[in-house]
Amino acid sequence: MKMKHFLKLTLVACVLVFQSCGSGKTKEVVDVNFNVNLLDRSNDTYKVEVVPPTLKAENNIFQFASTAPGTYQVMDIGRYVSNFKAFDKDGNALTTNKVSTNQYELTSPEKIAKISYEIAETWDTPVTENKIYLMCGTSIEDDHTLINGQAVFGYFKGKQANPLKIKIDYPNEWSIGTALEKTADGIYTANDYDHVVDSPILIGNLTKASMDVQGTTVDIFTYSKKGLIKSEQVLESMKNMLLSASSFLGGLPVDRYTFLFHFEDVTNGAWEHSYSSEYVYKEDTWENLEKAILEVAAHEFFHVVTPLNIHSEIVDQFNFITPVPSNHLWLYEGTTEWASHMMLLRSGLKSFDDYLKTLQRKVLINTKYYNPNISLTELAQTSYTPEGHKQYGNIYMKGALVAGLLDIKLLELSNGERGLKDVVNEFAKKYGPSKPFEDATFFDEFTEATYPEIRTFFNDYVINSKTLPLKAYYNKIGIDFDEATATFSTIDNASEAQLALRKKWMQPID
């Protein structure tokens, strides 16, 4: 977009937290204060000012994100930054040097009273490689803006864990949707840098709808360019999905959740967070979009189980400087994708035939559009490379199929008493949001918690890429798989044992 350049009239609101140290004469400022001026949307850039916490010589880098949790893509946000400047308390410019794509070196960090920079929106800024997914990026338009934290904010070296206070100036008629909490004077707060990355912000001409689902406060914010979709319409579908998730999980694992919907010209998908998720879809009537979005929302919501409650140390202490892959993408994305369709099936929001067609589609896409011989751990380890990035989407196909097989195997070994859902719920209780499992030993740990045969399963179908035993496994629950057409269908004369296991497979086990 283009508009005339307004004078910057905004003052940075400083809500500083002081910590006494020593004699009490030296006060250390902990908060990092950001101001984003959306009244000036010229050049499709965010005008950002930062009032730093107390800085020392070792905090001499201002870092922008190289990637973000759950995206498995190189972002190099530093590419979008311009006019990066540092000032002392008298307003004199201090020297800064761009030392790498995402890093600005601060020559006198102790003297810095303010930093300012512009950061371009990712949607409309051309790049030659590593185009950022729309739902993970930023967009500035006349009537709204989408902010994903890592694409607007940065952090001082050594201060990733410091709290943030964010003041956003925006037109009076706009409203704001985010899972971030707001103080009485309108300042948004984040516990640390990771928290703001975990909390997208949608601002503009939005509709809002709210409800309570079994004690969980659910807020829906919708930007719909032509006004075709209102939050009120989306509400009922999300309610049904959440009730289905609740019965699947034995209760909803969060006390609040925010859905941010962006309907405009393109469909790109959705991105999950701990207490919210963001959806970018081509605008249409809600009737036409409902089914697809319900499935995706189920997927994104199920991420509150994994990775939020079950993740390794690699996800827990997120490295924004260098992308580090975890081995367990099969769990974070494969299991999540399996669970989302399974919970819709078990709750009746998805028909049995529809579920079998979903399985067929995943088999066909796995073999026709991706290299089916890549193992799921290889897929995880290579997701940040150009070749691996092309294969990444298969985690939603092959990854989900493998999770489905694991579920059947677990049900078979436990006589229908303990499927993948149950094991996952047990791990969510054992770990939780702030207690990671060990990336290197989780296959063994999962095996110990279940059956020795599961180690062979992981070796064959997760760590290696043996041909998936779809026919043999689905036969256990009285479903035939026709290899030639990739069709799944119920076996007419299924045995008692097959029918009994299918019953356990179909229904939530409490």
- Least separation in angstroms between residue 41's CB and Zn ion is 31
In angstroms, the CA 10 to CA 116 distance is 12
- Least separation in angstroms between residue 216's CB and Zn ion is 20
For CA atoms 35, 36, 39, 45, the dihedral sign is: positive
Choices 121-129, 134-142, 332-340, 481-489 (CB under 5 A): range interacting with Zn ion: 332-340
In angstroms, the CA 316 to CA 326 distance is 11
Backbone angles phi, psi at 75, to 5 degrees: -110, -40
Q: Which is nearer to Zn ion, 139 or 336 (CB)?
A: 336
Q: Which is nearer to Zn ion, 44 or 272 (CB)?
A: 272
Q: Which is nearer to Zn ion, 278 or 333 (CB)?
A: 333
Choices 10-18, 24-32, 326-334, 379-387 (CB under 5 A): range interacting with Zn ion: 326-334
Instruction: For residue 85, count other CB atoms closer than 10 A to its CB.
Output: 15
Buried b or exposed e, range 381-401, using 16+ CB within 10 angstroms: ebbbeeebbebbbbbbbbbbb
In angstroms, the CA 115 to CA 239 distance is 43
- Least separation in angstroms between residue 298's CB and Zn ion is 11
Q: Which is nearer to Zn ion, 80 or 257 (CB)?
A: 257
Instruction: Give, rounded to a whole angstrom, the gap between the first and last alpha carbons of the chain.
Output: 53
Residue at token pair 């102790």: 110
Choices 232-240, 315-323, 327-335, 409-417 (CB under 5 A): range interacting with Zn ion: 327-335
Q: Which is nearer to Zn ion, 197 or 486 (CB)?
A: 197
- Looking at the DSSP bridge assignments, the partners of residue 29 are 18
- Least separation in angstroms between residue 330's CB and Zn ion is 12
Choices 98-106, 234-242, 329-337, 468-476 (CB under 5 A): range interacting with Zn ion: 329-337
Binding mask 4-43 for Zn ion (x = CB under 5 A): ----------------------------------------
Q: Which is nearer to Zn ion, 333 or 422 (CB)?
A: 333
Residues numbered 194-213 forming contacts with Zn ion, rule: CB under 5 A: none
Residues numbered 408-427 forming contacts with Zn ion, rule: CB under 5 A: none
Alpha carbon of 68 to those of 32, 128, 129, 273, 438: distances in Å?
Answer: 20, 20, 17, 11, 20
Q: Write out the two tokens for 226.
A: 């032509």
Find the helix or strand (DSSP H, E) in which 253 lies: none
Buried b or exposed e, range 196-219, using 16+ CB within 10 angstroms: bbbbbbbbbbbbebeeebeebebb
For the CA atoms of 160, 43, 133, 236, the dihedral, rounded to the nearest 10 degrees, stands at 90
- Least separation in angstroms between residue 285's CB and Zn ion is 26
- Least separation in angstroms between residue 169's CB and Zn ion is 33
Choices 279-287, 325-333, 355-363, 495-503 (CB under 5 A): range interacting with Zn ion: 325-333
Choices 82-90, 331-339, 405-413, 414-422 (CB under 5 A): range interacting with Zn ion: 331-339
Q: Which residue is nearest to Zn ion (CB)?
A: 333
Q: Which is nearer to Zn ion, 333 or 439 (CB)?
A: 333
> 276: closest CA among 359, 162, 178?
178
Residue 387, C-beta contacts closer than 8 angstroms, at least 6 positions apart:
none
In angstroms, the CA 465 to CA 463 distance is 7
Q: Which is nearer to Zn ion, 31 or 333 (CB)?
A: 333
Q: Which is nearer to Zn ion, 119 or 310 (CB)?
A: 310
In angstroms, the CA 325 to CA 459 distance is 19
> 35: closest CA among 195, 194, 187?
187
Q: Which is nearer to Zn ion, 204 or 334 (CB)?
A: 334
Cβ–Cβ < 8 Å for 68, 75: yes
Residue 147 is which amino acid? I
Q: Which is nearer to Zn ion, 141 or 333 (CB)?
A: 333
- Least separation in angstroms between residue 340's CB and Zn ion is 9
- Least separation in angstroms between residue 336's CB and Zn ion is 5
Residues numbered 245-274 forming contacts with Zn ion, rule: CB under 5 A: none
Choices 1-9, 330-338, 409-417, 436-444 (CB under 5 A): range interacting with Zn ion: 330-338
DSSP code at position 13: P
Backbone angles phi, psi at 281, to 5 degrees: -135, 150
- Least separation in angstroms between residue 462's CB and Zn ion is 17
- Least separation in angstroms between residue 272's CB and Zn ion is 5
- Least separation in angstroms between residue 332's CB and Zn ion is 7
Residues that bind Zn ion (CB under 5 A): 333
